[in-house]
Amino acid sequence: MAHSIKVKIYYEDTDAGGVVYYANYLRYMERARTEFLAEKGINIAQFHAEGLFFVVTHVDISYKRPARLGEIIDVTTEVAEMKKASMTILNRVCKEGFVMVEALVTIACIDKDGRPKRLPESFMAVKEPEKS
């Protein structure tokens, strides 16, 4: 089951027409991923202090319907793929059961010098077991 957060659309999130500015969806997804990991017991700030960083290396995003000023949207997060040094997250922005925006976001683990590092063991537990 996907993790979900609710986001209210404020005036600052929109363009002159009251539609969410396209790049703001990435902010909502980042927030949702952070909450997803926190719920799984992963403290990103702790890893930063230890010299491990998590960077977005690729985003494949589809905008299907706009969110508008005053609406409340659901942003879901689930792991699509887990590799040794990266993970791909499926984020969806939904309202009333309709998918408005969908993105696959690849996040890599690097050290302070920008070299790829193996994801910490705690990340391996975030991938939910496949349902049979």
Using the predicted structure, report yes or no on whether residue 4 has a pLDDT greater than 90. yes
pLDDT for 79 beyond 90: yes
Phi and psi at residue 6, in whole multiples of 5°? Answer: -100, 140
Instruction: Give residue-wise pLDDT tens across range 95-129.
Output: 999 999 999 999 999 999 999 999 998 888 787 65
15 is catalytic: yes
Model confidence, pTM: 0.90
Domain of residue 17, residue span: 3-124
Q: Active site residue: 13, 15, 60, 74, which one?
A: 15
Residues near 26 by beta carbon (within 8 Å), at least 6 away in sequence: 59, 61, 103
CATH number for the domain harbouring residue 77:
3.10.129.10
**9 located within any domain:** yes
User: Where does 10-97 show beta strands of DSSP type E?
Assistant: 52-63, 72-82, 86-95
